[in-house]
Copies of this chain bind each other. A is one copy, B any other.
């Protein structure tokens, strides 16, 4: 394959959606399963998720959260406690009705019906709240700060790998506090953690803000979101934090004796991030040669490919590969690929997987103790240096790699930020020919929101940074002070 051409069968320009799938196939991240809407996360995709998990998990624990595990199955009656919440999920719940299979007329059929049907968790506020109600008696028991890493089922009709699947993996944090102030602070703090993770670790261009009232999490008082911009100018809601007020506490009776001796309902929060972030990573950083991985979530920083010719020197080349590994493994995750497939195929496999540095090691490198490598993020630039220099500079090279990804994504993102649209007509015009984040003004009224539906555009968030200026509302023409971000979204 010539290095002038692209490694993927389709480019972003040609068909963004087919390209997205081609990146997944090319990097061998995931595949469809025989179960409608459920995917298999393959080793390389899962290794990225493990990197994400370990960074977030350490941060959650540092902030005082403890991991737990709550049941997968939730009695349907429990949903009846919080009407607004259940309305948000009722349409997409997988329901268990039987607990046995019976062989009948040549096939297996469900047998032994349950007395009450059970839903597979679409989220766990209610079942966790039930436990909290048992755990919390006094203000001394507060705050309760827990998290779980688990699988979730929401029966999606139109699915897309990582972005929207009937089953997905996530973490869900749940906390209960004595006061509204503390609970709001917790929800803000976790919002900041997600912002840090998406922007500083995943190097994604994003805007942090609050969801408008009509788009909050079912049952929440306030939903905070990180809206990341994809290369096609659409938004991806990457992680959300909710202040739930006393709604769930009232539904499941989380009460405590306060400092005043009286009984109070707790103030609760919840916050979550999912495997969908892997989809975001793809649409933010991948190019027409495949994936690009920020270093902190790269399963390997360096892959070493021995170029063997079937000669006597093969043994020495393999030894030299191990020497390179030994020289750098203190500072980086390194893998020597010994699989028996042609080395040129291997190289392109790792380009498509987004490995930051791909070293090809043959007789030349062995002879002069050098390292010859491809810098994935820098247009596949090829570099040669001595092993000593490579080992000494690798820390710098990794930081440089991250900066290249960050700057590319930032500058592409900034170009799709639109600030000069003032009327709905201009907005319609813009989205009929382009995609991006439109920063506009909104009165806060829900009037004319349906106009946005026609454009398949929505208010992604009210950015945390509000200018405070007064202009005309993009939907109603009324006076408006609220800054909003409008975009199409995944």
Given contacts A66-B47, A86-B108, contact A76 B101 (CB under 8 A): yes
Contact in complex: A69, B169 (CB < 8 Å): yes
> What 0/1 pattern do residues 89 to 111 of A give for CB contact below 8 A with B?
01111111111111100011110
Contact in complex: B167, A72 (CB < 8 Å): yes
A73 within 8 A of B: yes
Q: Kindly provide the distance from the CB of A128 to the nearest chain B CB, expressed in whole angstroms.
A: 8
* Residues on B with beta carbons closer than 8 Å to the beta carbon of A100: 90-93, 95, 155
> What 0/1 pattern do residues 8 to 52 of A give for CB contact below 8 A with B?
000000000000000000000001011100111111001101100
* Residues on B with beta carbons closer than 8 Å to the beta carbon of A101: 76, 79, 86, 90-91, 93, 95, 119
Contact in complex: A35, B74 (CB < 8 Å): yes
Q: Interface with B: A146-154, A322-330, A389-397, A418-426, which one?
A: A146-154
12 contacts across the A-B interface (CB closer than 8 A) = A33-B130, A33-B131, A35-B74, A40-B71, A43-B67, A47-B66, A76-B101, A91-B100, A92-B99, A94-B98, A94-B118, A110-B117
Which residue of B has the minimal Cβ distance to A149? B149
On chain A, which size bracket covers the interface? Answer: 35 or more
Q: Which of A71, A140, A339 is packed against the most chain B CB atoms within 10 Å?
A: A71
CA distance A32 to B183 in the complex (A): 27
* Residues on B with beta carbons closer than 8 Å to the beta carbon of A49: 69
Given contacts A31-B134, A80-B108, A134-B31, contact A69 B97 (CB under 8 A): no
* Residues on B with beta carbons closer than 8 Å to the beta carbon of A97: 95-98, 110
Question: Which of B72, B98, B140 sits near A341, CB closer than 8 Å?
Answer: B140
Contact in complex: A35, B71 (CB < 8 Å): yes
A249 within 8 A of B: no
Given contacts A66-B47, A67-B43, contact A35 B118 (CB under 8 A): yes
Contact in complex: A340, B108 (CB < 8 Å): no
* Residues on B with beta carbons closer than 8 Å to the beta carbon of A341: 140
* Residues on B with beta carbons closer than 8 Å to the beta carbon of A377: none
A258 within 8 A of B: no
CA distance A66 to B335 in the complex (A): 14
